[in-house]
Structure 1
Amino acid sequence: MRIGILTGGGDCPGLNAVIRAVVRTADRRYGSTVVGFRDGWRGLLEDSHTLLEANERIDRILTRGGTILGTARVNPSRLREGLPRIRQTLADNEIDALIPIGGEGTLTAAHWLSQSGVPVVGVPKTIDNDIAITDVTFGFDTAVSVATEAIDRLHTTAESHQRVMLVEVMGRHAGWIALHAGIAGGAHMTLVPEEPFDVDDVCALIEDRFARGDKHFICVVAEGAAPKPESMALREGGIDEFGHKIFTGVAQQLGDEIERRIGKEVRTTVLGYTQRGGTPTAYDRVLATRFGLHATDAVHRGDFGNMVSLRGTSIDLVPLADATRELKRVPLTRYAEASAMFG
């Protein structure tokens, strides 16, 4: 069997661990060949590929961040229009099945290809941890660890200068990174997309903390967090070519508003792409490896149209049709747990 593999959407710690697991499992367990398509779906559209062999080079990628295959975003309309080219690429390379690794957009495309008759088994990937039908996605643990370490470091400098520190982390529609990093890092407040915030409440919490004699305040802000409409207005950023909302820096705008209202000195740190980069944690390496192994097994069993999923401690298969039906967002009960630590 010849298996095609690609990595789509944003890069993520653990992608290389999946690639390694697919190549090693295909070779050692089944004697199959793996062909990697470069730069996500673009590699299928342009027939840009490379043969992946089970050798020392593949073994070494386990600890590397990013993806050796590269990644890129492709407009869904271009992908649909390119179905004949995709079919031709798969035929030219004698590909029997495809393993796309990605988040919501990639899995949506994988489901569409599956409906179009392409044999597909998907692997979920997103640091945001917002795919509903898997308990956890690889990359999330690494992102939380990076954010937590940053918060740990900011505590000392914030206390030294008696400052308010706002730490913006990734999380467009789901606040899982902010929630976990805020708890683990001992933040004094966390703002998530699921619960609009009131600037007056934020300011009151800051003032109460300093009035008690505490010397600093740290708030973790998910990039998709938003104020209540009557609280403050955010700048509009419009929509990008893929239909995604463009965020305009909620933490910085909130910081300016806090300084204006209560006169406290505020510093903003945007962690941005550092959460995606670098070496994956041990947890993410293990989960990504298990996903790759089970996806390869599913391909050889002919269990197409599915996605691997972590359920408890088991790796199961779930229909691709269910993969992006809804986002996994932070329940208000979980946010209530975190808010017990505020102040």
Structure 2
Amino acid sequence: MGKKRIGILTSGGDCAGLNACIRAATHHACQRGWEMVGIRYATAGLMRRPADAVTLTPDLLDSSFLRRAGTVLGSVNTGDPFAFPMPDGGRADRSAEVIEGYRSLGLDALIGIGGDGSLAILRRLAQQGGIDLVGVPKTIDNDVALTENAIGYATAVQVAIEALDRLQPTAASHDRVMVLEVMGRDAGHIALNAGISGGADVILIPEIDYRLEQVAQKVRDVRAGGRNFALLVVAESVRTPEGEAVTRSLSGQTRYGGIGQYLGDRLAELTGAETRVTVLGHVQRGAEAVPQDRLLASVYGAKAVDLIAEGRFDRMVAWQNRQVVDVPLAEIVDRSHRVDPAGPLVRTARQLGISFGD
């Protein structure tokens, strides 16, 4: 096979492991004698003239990139090129500019590292522009369909567990109920896994409806049993018992955030307990990748290059049954990997006496 020129980009929210994936893809491609081009700031970089890109080499991406948080290529999670926000307040279709930017780089294929939303947009661009695309799943929420694990998820869970480990002794020292709000836009994987591993008394996730009185009763039961503290973990997308989303406006966009404080205030009223609320937010994104994410990212990056070598496009690298596989990108669009309320982890949590407030 002749020399190829491959583009790679990171799109959507950043997370741990992105640099490890970029590094693996670059090393594997260069071993084949190919050229790897890093596209900076994803579709935004392709809209610039000239397109914002840099040549990547193994010498540039040494072993320190396994440890480095964030993404050296930069990323965007706003500005859908099919409905791009313009200065006059309107929206414009700038997809043709993105495709033109891609073509100007003389690329033979593209590796797109993103979550479900980013991959859906990249696939639409690929279909429109005849781009040979391979997708790699990354999201701390772990909600990309057809894969058991996405890059960044394991590290986000570890950060949440460490937070619980630190909250427990201060809760015990002051007879408090600690509420920890973690990320989870559409799925409660972080809250569930961290809650079990960190010894939470209550886990609230968007997949399971709850009643506030049931949560309050769990706190009362814990205190009646002789323990002077309680730990509650809640995913940011959990709604109030009335079904209202708790959000805030940030840079003109509506974001989840505030359910932790809502619960802390209500539990204080219902139980008389002193409550404190911690919101992890972007702390979960910026951590140094744990070994699981470094390994997964490396496997995914190398597999993406293999798919290009095999001429297998419109596919996404995935992890299923302890193996790296690939699945059709078309099958992940408009789908989500959510917590199974009847699944083994929820069942285990209940067996441990953890309440879901239902």
The correspondence for 2:43, drawn from 24, 41, 44, is 41
Q: Does 2:174 correspond to 1:161?
A: yes
Match of 2:274 in 1: 265
Task: Give the deviation of 1:321 after TM superposition.
Answer: 0.4
Match of 2:351 in 1: 340
Name the amino acid aligned to 1:61.
F
Name the amino acid aligned to 2:110.
L
Q: Map of 1:251-290 to 2, 5 A cutoff?
A: 251-290=260-299
Name the amino acid aligned to 2:21.
V
Does structure 1 retain, via aligned residues, the 8 Å contact 2:164–2:198?
yes
Match of 1:101 in 2: 113
Does structure 1 retain, via aligned residues, the 8 Å contact 2:151–2:297?
yes
Name the amino acid aligned to 1:228.
P
Name the amino acid aligned to 1:103.
G
Does structure 2 retain, via aligned residues, the 8 Å contact 1:26–1:296?
yes
The correspondence for 1:313, drawn from 299, 314, 322, is 322
Match of 1:297 in 2: 306
Task: Give the deviation of 1:209 after TM superposition.
Answer: 1.0
Q: Percent identity?
A: 39
Q: Which runs of 5+ in 1 are unaligned?
A: none
TM-score, scaled to structure 2? 0.90
* Residue aligned with 1:332, SS: coil
1:248/1:216 CA distance change after superposition, 3 Å: same
* Residue aligned with 1:186, SS: coil
Match of 1:3 in 2: 6
Name the amino acid aligned to 2:242.
P
Q: Map of 1:187-198 to 2, 5 A cutoff?
A: 187-198=200-211
Equivalent-residue separation in structure 2 for 1:256 and 1:45 (angstroms): 46
Match of 1:218 in 2: 231
Name the amino acid aligned to 1:38.
R
Match of 2:87 in 1: none
Q: Does 2:157 correspond to 1:144?
A: yes
Task: Give the deviation of 1:234 after TM superposition.
Answer: 5.9
Cα deviation per residue 1:276-301 (whole Å; 9 max; x = unaligned)? 11210111100000000000111122
Task: Give the deviation of 1:67 after TM superposition.
Answer: 0.3
Does structure 1 retain, via aligned residues, the 8 Å contact 2:40–2:54?
yes
1:269/1:293 CA distance change after superposition, 3 Å: same
Does structure 2 retain, via aligned residues, the 8 Å contact 1:310–1:316?
yes
Match of 1:127 in 2: 140
The correspondence for 1:63, drawn from 61, 67, 91, is 67
Match of 1:325 in 2: 334
Match of 1:178 in 2: 191
Q: Does 2:17 correspond to 1:17?
A: no
Name the amino acid aligned to 1:62.
L
Name the amino acid aligned to 2:186.
H
TM-score, scaled to structure 1? 0.93
Match of 1:53 in 2: 57
Equivalent-residue separation in structure 2 for 1:296 and 1:89 (angstroms): 22
Structure whose residues are more often helix by fraction = 1
Match of 1:246 in 2: 255
Does structure 1 retain, via aligned residues, the 8 Å contact 2:108–2:132?
yes
- Please tell me the root mean square deviation across aligned C-alpha atoms, in Å: 1.9
The correspondence for 1:72, drawn from 47, 72, 76, is 76
Cα deviation per residue 1:303-328 (whole Å; 9 max; x = unaligned)? 11111011112211111101233111
1:205/1:103 CA distance change after superposition, 3 Å: same
Equivalent-residue separation in structure 1 for 2:282 and 2:246 (angstroms): 22
Cα deviation per residue 1:101-123 (whole Å; 9 max; x = unaligned)? 00011110122123221110010
Name the amino acid aligned to 1:106.
S
Q: Which runs of 5+ in 2 are unaligned?
A: 85-91
Name the amino acid aligned to 2:158.
S
Equivalent-residue separation in structure 2 for 1:73 and 1:57 (angstroms): 24
Task: Give the deviation of 1:170 after TM superposition.
Answer: 0.6
Task: Give the deviation of 1:153 after TM superposition.
Answer: 1.3
1:63/1:191 CA distance change after superposition, 3 Å: same
